[in-house]
Structure 1
Amino acid sequence: MTERGFKQMMAEANAVIDTISVVDAMKLIDDKTVSFIDVREKHEREAAHIPGSYHAARGFLELIAAKDGPMHQEVFASGNHLILYCGTGGRSALSAKTLLDMGIRNVSSMAGGFAAWKELNE
């Protein structure tokens, strides 16, 4: 098996996922058919997060997203458009690819992550 590096994994993810701009994501914040998913670590979320977002740290994503997962959150089975975000966009892109691989389809990664969101809200 050939080793895959970070750049290759990001390229593979970006080739198949949907990416949404922060500006377009902000327009959907009050849409009840959209759910924001924070894939950052607990300490990052505790510092600040998008109001109303769900937390599913990347390290627990499969356990939380899978219907038969021990930490399952119903938001992943809701049919809502899931907008994933992280610090700057890398982890959310990889997480979106993971969800697609799991069969969860209506998923986007927010470009620029929480850093871009925060910048537009300052």
Structure 2
Amino acid sequence: GFIPGSIHAPRGMIEFWIDPDSPYHKEIFAQSDKRYVFHCASGWRSALTVATLQDMGFSAAHLREGFSTWDAQGGPVAYPEPKD
């Protein structure tokens, strides 16, 4: 599952997705005045991602306890449509 409205942003690609000069740049990261919230399963990779974004001048936060705790505490979770 995933948090509704979220996008998948792999930790190993985030710097490339943010850099406007990168061929892998994603437009969702073109707004440096936007606040970004990241999560991973347990909170460790998202903490590294937030540190990277903050070093690059972005406002970012993460779910400290991760998606697992979000789900266990009843946070909204969506599931992908089954593929035929």
1:109 pairs with one of 62, 72, 76: 62
Is residue 88 of structure 1 aligned with residue 42 of structure 2?
Answer: yes
| Structure 2: distance between partners of 1:70 and 1:56 | 16
Question: What is the letter of the counterpart of residue 80 of structure 1?
Answer: K
Q: Which has the higher helix share?
A: 1
**Count of residues paired in the alignment:** 74
Write the distance in 2 (CA, Å) between the matches of 1:116 and 1:68. 36
Aligned amino acid, residue 55 of structure 2: D
How far residue 86 of structure 1 moved from its aligned partner, in angstroms, is: 0.6
Q: Deviations over 1:66-101 (max 9, x none)?
A: 121222122222222100111111000001011112
- Does the residue aligned with 1:58 lie in a helix, a strand or coil? coil
| Structure 2 Cα separation of the partners of residues 63 and 51 of structure 1 | 24
Offset, 1:49: 0.9
Which ranges of structure 2 fall in alignment gaps of 5 or more residues? 76-84
Map Cα deviations across residues 10-57 of structure 1 (whole Å, 9 max, x no partner).
xxxxxxxxxxxxxxxxxxxxxxxxxxxxxxxxxxxxxx1111101210
The match for 2:20 is 67
> What is the TM-score with the length of structure 1 in the denominator?
0.56
Q: Given the two structures, how large is their TM-score scaled by the length of structure 2? A: 0.78
Residue equivalent to 2:51: 97
Stretches (4+) displaced over 6 A = none
